[in-house]
Chain A
Amino acid sequence: MEEYKIELIVNNEKISAITKAEESLLKFLRRNGFTEVKCGCEKGDCGTCTVIMNGKTIKSCITLAMQANGKEILTAKGLEKIEIGRRLQESFVKYGAVQCGFCTAGMLMAAKSYIDKDLEPDKTEIRKAISGNLCRCTGYKKIVEAIYDVAVKSHGLEGDTNV
């Protein structure tokens, strides 16, 4: 299988590495040390591998690494460098939105994406926004509350920069 060199920015860091045509972005990221991007199903069903690519959430297991060439990727480890990211992390901890934590890294990405839209905070809309991300432990309530709290505090505020 042919190999290609791709360049992308992950969490503000430039990555230049070899991939194969059939390699998923998920496998590429994990192979390059970004193990915070989780592999729950590799079929796009569970959402644990969600990352933000050029401002949009994608499921990295059904995205080819080649498609990320020249793009900017944000993962859970990059959240700390962003105000909204830090707020979401803190809120998830505070509200007890984290149990086993396996969905958390992907869920935070879906949450960040929702907050970035800067809509009127609404729990039903939050539920829709995270409906592509499964959680088997929490029953979602505390996740929704954690996101809602950040949404209320951030709505209309100047500030956050998209990656």
Chain B
Amino acid sequence: MSKFKVVGKPIPRHDAWAKVRGELTYADDFSLPGMLYAKVFRSKYPAAKLVSVNTSKAKLLKGVKAVLTACDVPHNETVTKFGQSTNIKGGFEGLYRVLAVEGKKIRFTGEPIALVAAETETIAEKACELIEAKYEELPGVFDPEEAMKPNAYLVGERDSNIVNEFGCHNGDVEKGFGESEVIVEDRFEIPFIDHSYLEPEAGISWLDDYGTINIRVSSQVIEHFRDVAEVLNIPHNKVRYIGTMMGGAFGGKEDITVEAFIALLTSKTKKPVRLVYTREESLMAHSKKHAFIEKYKIGAKKNGKIVALEAYYIGNAGAYTYLTPWVGLYATVSATGPYKIPNVKIKTQMVLTNNVFASAYRGFGSNQANIGYESIIDELARKLNMNPLEIRRINCMHTGDALSTTKQVIKTYVALPEAMEKAWAGLEEPTISKRKDIKIGRGIAMGLMSYGRMTFLHDSSRCYVKLENDGSLVVRSGIPDLGGGQASLLSQIAANELGVPMKKVKVYNTDSMLTPLAGTTTATRQTYMSGNAALKAAREVRNRILNKAAEVLNVNPDKLDIVSEKIIVKYDKSEYLPLTEAIQACNAEGIELYSEAQFNAPFTGIPDLTDMKGMTFPDFAFGAQAVEVAVDIETGQVKVLKIVSCYDVGKALNPASVEGQMEGGSIQGIGYALSEDYALKKGIPQTLSLAEYIIPTAVDSPDVKTIMIESGGGLGPYGAKGIGEPSYNNIVPAILNAIYDATGVRIRRLPATAERIIRGLKKDYFKK
């Protein structure tokens, strides 16, 4: 009998039908009687002193029910905790301000200053026009290197723009470079980018019969109920989050978006309030992916063996701290990639500037590091006149090796260089260019990324599983579903353990007060964390019912299995007990057929941030991507012809979902590599529509070939690894390396626009 009945099969998700029928009620699709519409009044300057805010005219407008400024916010300077149970100090609290304060600094264009609730959206918009804010413009600082200088303009109230600093040191880099026969140095610039999920930020709040604030919102973190309670200065149990199915998130719905605003307005008006960002507002004022400047120096022997690596990262955090420190930590830990390097020195500084704030984004620092190390190693290979695959083979870590940054030993299976070889082979026969001005090139990149949160956060997830009297299954979990199939996965696990068909499982999810808290849908943690919690709960119920069935059937419980709603004796199909009869037998004796289980990740202490050593993450996912591009050397246009994505997914619990992550991650990477650039001019954003901020369309996207390695070596249920974020790694440097292969142009500043490629071609031309 196969161990897997439901798991490992490409099962349609429980929510797919509701979505194709247009029946799913997203955050913006829900209304309540008497609901008010909210709008946010925002700063038009990136750096200014907010002299005064006059809301009296706005308040007088007919239909306006409330206008709030910072003085109406009980706890305006806030520290969000992002669901972790431990208090981490040392700059790790995600500091931000709900509304800008009179007499204090405005830090970015679009910073919220006042909130309006009115009877219609139009009235709310008009009220915003009637708000009078007086500013005293300040010079601001927009470039992170400028912001780090001793006499730089200060973005906030602290005496330095540097948020914090991270480091890893091993061996002696100076000595290592001395021993090196070839040294390559380079600098890469990576811009801010936007998540561009198709569902803008949205939520509605209302008071229930007992004065509790209810918030129905598109959020990756329902544990923010605590943070909203703190903003309102009320007990945590007086705020309830009901998370909706999200229309995409990618980290952009990890921070509080609309929730604190609508909660404040509901608290003031006692009425339901809905707030939905426009696309322009979403682009202007929600978080971005950190821009990075990366300086790399790498030294190797002529045989390709890397001796030393030094990396210095400057992370542009924008206007407020939010999740910046954690992004810095991820980048630092990932800075050497999956390579064994004896002498290493990594330094990362995260810096405030007067740009929109940066925070979580799929890849979370690891991704920016991956662009750096996979570019520099490719350059090193070229300088050594070595095959780019060969240099990776020579220096690649294997199972049991330690990261060259923190020295954390990887005890699970390291699918390298295996994934690289498979991805490369997957490209098959090279495309032959029929035109002289179209050059074909191929690139490879491999890497690692953590799944699960940093171990010093002491992460946990809980899940409830119950066998109903009719043999149906109830799963309750606080798990937010951002479209990756997170909720559906839990039902698959429960169904698998209890021998119940998928259609008989119902997941009740994402309610901060009624479903067990499962933690954030971030950090590629839900398959691992909540998957394990669901497995633990389901197995407890399974054991109880099998013990009872063993009594009835008079056999040892070890001999029993549950298949297709029957408790069977293994190897003897004639004898069985219908599941419903076993349930009745348990009920008659008061045997609990439910369980709420908690799964804990490994717990560690907080590392010394400037010299990190040991475990910082539970485990890592390894993989590679290979691409083939065609570059038009007349126009500089790049067309991605082929992508092969190969990852060790541990065990693909739902292969269709895993493929979906890998395909989507690759195509998102095409945007990052070639077109996405959230450009700002002195703090003023330049791309406030999806016509200016360019994400890939269907015609820009080749069919991604996915190769899943199932090592069974992951820490998740049945040996699964998380793949959401890792699948978005490698693709960007693979494309950049392919562009180099085609043209000899090394892209050092993303994105690789046609203009930059043409400039690179010209430079090389003049050099010759």
Contact of A142 among B663, B665, B697 (CB under 8 A): B663
> Do B29 and A35 have beta carbons less than 8 Å apart?
yes
> How many whole Å from A146's CB to the nearest CB in chain B?
10
Cβ contacts under 8 Å, B410 to chain A: none
B663 proximity list for chain A (CB < 8 A):
138-142
A41 at the interface (CB under 8 A from B): yes
Beyond A42-B279, A43-B279, A96-B10, is A104–B20 a contact (Cβ under 8 Å)? Answer: yes
On whether the beta carbons of B199 and A100 are closer than 8 Å, the reply is yes
Chain B residue numbers with a CB within 8 Å of A137 are 248, 483-484, 660, 664
Q: Digitize A32-57: 1 where CB-to-B-CB distance is under 8 Å, 0 elsewhere.
A: 00011111111101101000000000
Q: Give chain A residues whose Cβ lies under 8 Å from the Cβ of B245.
A: 100-101
A35 vs B23: C-alpha distance in the bound complex, in angstroms? 8
B19 adjacent to A104 (CB under 8 Å) = yes
**CB-defined contacts of B16 to chain A, threshold 8 Å:** 92-93, 96, 98, 101
4 shortest interchain CB distances as A-B pairs = A100-B483, A36-B22, A102-B247, A101-B19
* B247→A96 contact, CB < 8 A: no
Could you tell me if A139 and B667 are in contact, using CB atoms closer than 8 angstroms? yes
Q: How far is the CB of B705 from chain A (nearest CB, A)?
A: 9
**Are B660 and A143 within 8 A (Cβ)?**
no
Q: Could you tell me if B668 and A136 are in contact, using CB atoms closer than 8 angstroms?
A: yes
Nearest CB in chain B: distance from A74 CB, A: 11
CB interface residues, A 72-108, toward B, < 8 Å: 75-77, 79-80, 88-89, 92-96, 98-105, 108
Question: What count of chain A residues pass the 8 Å CB interface test?
Answer: 53
Interface assignment of A135: CB less than 8 Å from any CB of chain B:
yes
Task: For B278, list chain A residues within 8 Å (CB).
Answer: 42
Which of B249, B250, B667, B697 has a CB less than 8 Å from the CB of A131? B697
Check: A65 CB closer than 8 A to any chain B CB.
Answer: no
Q: Which residues of A contact B514 (CB under 8 A)?
A: none
Q: Bound complex: CA of A93 vs CA of B24, how far in Å? A: 14
B698 & A131 in contact (Cβ 8 Å cutoff): yes
Judged by DSSP, the binding face of B is loop
B residues near A39, Cβ cutoff 8 Å: 28, 200, 276
- Assess whether B699 is in contact with A101, with CB atoms less than 8 Å apart: no
Any B CB within 8 A of the CB of A117: no
Which residues of B sit under 8 angstroms from A64, Cβ to Cβ? none
Contacts of A127 in B (CB 8 A): 698-699, 701
Q: Does B703 contact A (CB under 8 A)?
A: yes
**Of B28, B247, B701, which is within 8 A of A101 by CB?**
B247
Q: Within 8 Å CB of A123, what residues of B?
A: 703
* Given A40-B279, A140-B701, A144-B703, residue A99 in contact with residue B483 (CB < 8 A): yes
Chain B 221-251, CB-CB to A under 8 Å as 1, else 0, gives 0000000000000000000000001111110
Minimum CB distance partner of A80 in chain B:
B21
The digit string for B184-218, where 1 denotes a CB below 8 A from any CB of A, is 00000000000111111000000000000000000
Interface members, chain B 620-659 (any A CB < 8 Å): 656-657, 659
Report chain B residues within 8 Å CB of A38. Answer: 26, 198-199, 247
Cross-chain pairs A/B with CB under 8 angstroms, 6 sampled: A45-B279, A99-B484, A132-B697, A136-B195, A141-B704, A142-B660
Q: Are B21 and A77 in contact (CB under 8 A)?
A: yes
**Is residue A134 contacting chain B, with contact meaning CB distance below 8 A?**
yes
Q: A100 to chain B: closest CB distance in Å?
A: 3
Which A residues touch B197, using CB under 8 A? 100, 102, 136
Say if the beta carbon of A153 comes within 8 Å of chain B.
no
Cβ B690 vs Cβ A136 within 8 A = no
Complex Cα gap A137–B691 (Å): 19
Interchain nearest-CB distance for A89 vs B (Å) = 4
User: Which residues, 682 to 710 on B, are CB-close (under 8 Å) to A?
Assistant: 689-691, 695, 697-699, 701, 703-704
Per the bound structure, the CA–CA distance linking A76 and B24 in Å amounts to 11
Report the interface size class on chain B.
Answer: 35 or more
Q: Beyond A35-B29, A41-B690, A43-B691, is A98–B20 a contact (Cβ under 8 Å)?
A: yes
Residue in B closest to A77 when the chains form the complex, CB atoms: B22
Q: Which residues of A contact B247 (CB under 8 A)?
A: 38, 40, 100-102
Cα separation A131 to B697 with both chains bound (whole Å): 6
Asked whether A102 lies within 8 Å of B198 as measured between CB atoms, the reply is yes
Inter-chain contact B23/A36, CB cutoff 8 Å: yes
Chain A residue with Cβ nearest B481: A100
Q: Which of B19, B659, B666, B689 contacts A98 (CB 8 A)?
A: B19
Residue ID in chain B nearest A99 by CB atoms = B483
Nearest residue, chain B, Cβ from A129: B698
Contact A43 B689 (CB under 8 A): yes
Asked whether any CB of chain B lies closer than 8 Å to the CB of A66, the reply is no
Q: Which B residues between 1 and 32 are near A, CB-CB below 8 angstroms?
A: 10, 12-13, 15-26, 28-29
* CB within 8 Å of B: which A1-60 residues: 30, 35-43, 45-46, 48
Q: List the B residue with the shortest CB-CB distance to A106.
A: B198
Of all chain A residues, the one with the shortest Cβ separation from B13 is A98
**A99 contact from B23, B196, B485, B666, Cβ within 8 A:** B485
Q: Which residue of B lies closest to A138 (CB)?
A: B664
Other-chain residue from B198, B699, B704 in contact with A48 (beta carbon distance below 8 A): B198
Which residues on A sit within 8 Å (CB–CB) of B20?
A: 76, 79, 88-89, 92-93, 98, 101, 104, 108
Which of B427-469 touch A at CB < 8 Å? Answer: none
- Determine which of B12, B198, B665 lies in contact with A40 in the assembled complex, contact meaning CB atoms within 8 Å: B198
Q: Which of B10, B664, B691 contacts A139 (CB 8 A)?
A: B664
One of A45, A135, A139 near B704 (C-beta < 8 A): A139
Contact across chains for B659 and A100 when beta carbons are under 8 A apart:
no
> For the complex, is B482 an interface residue (Cβ under 8 Å from A)?
yes
Q: How far is the CB of B48 from chain A (nearest CB, A)?
A: 28
User: A96 to B659, alpha carbons, bound, how many Å?
Assistant: 9
Task: With a 10 A CB-CB cut-off, give which of A75, A77, A88, A96 has the most chain B CB atoms.
Answer: A96
**How distant is the Cα of A145 from the Cα of B195 in the complex, in angstroms?**
25
Whether A100 contacts B279 by the Cβ 8 Å rule is: no
Complex CA gap A100/B200 in Å reads: 13
Residues from chain A with a CB closer than 8 A to the CB of B12 are: 93-94, 96
A134 is contacted by which of B200, B666, B689, B695 (Cβ under 8 Å)?
A: B695
Docked CA distance A30–B25 (Å): 12
Contact status B279-A99, CB under 8 Å: no
Separation of A103 and B26 alpha carbons in the complex (Å): 12
- A96 and B198 in contact, given A76-B21, A104-B19, A139-B663 (Cβ under 8 angstroms): no
Contacts of A30 in B (CB 8 A): 29
B756 CB to nearest chain A CB (Å): 24
Partner of B199, one of A37, A42, A102: A102
**A41 CB contact (under 8 Å) in B17, B279, B482:** B279
Cα(A29)–Cα(B215), bound, Å:
25
Report whether B699 and A141 are in contact in the complex, using a CB–CB cutoff of 8 Å: no
> Hey, which chain A residues are within 8 Å of B482, CB to CB?
100
- Give the most central of A40, A89, A131: most B CB within 10 Å: A40
> Using Cβ atoms and an 8 Å threshold, which residues of chain A touch B484?
99, 137
B22 and A105: CB pair below 8 A?
yes
CA distance A145 to B697 in the complex (A): 16
Q: What is the chain B residue whose CB lies nearest that of A75?
A: B22
A133 to B698, alpha carbons, bound, how many Å?
A: 8
Which residues on the A side are within 8 Å of B196 (C-beta)? 134, 136
Question: 1/0 per residue A122-163: CB within 8 Å of B?
Answer: 010011101111111111111110000000000000000000
Set of chain A residues within 8 Å of B13, measured between Cβ atoms: 98
Select the residue from A40, A123, A141 with max chain B CB neighbours within 10 A: A141
Complex CA distance for A126 and B699, rounded to whole angstroms: 9
Residue of B nearest to A1 (CB): B122
Cα separation A95 to B703 with both chains bound (whole Å): 14
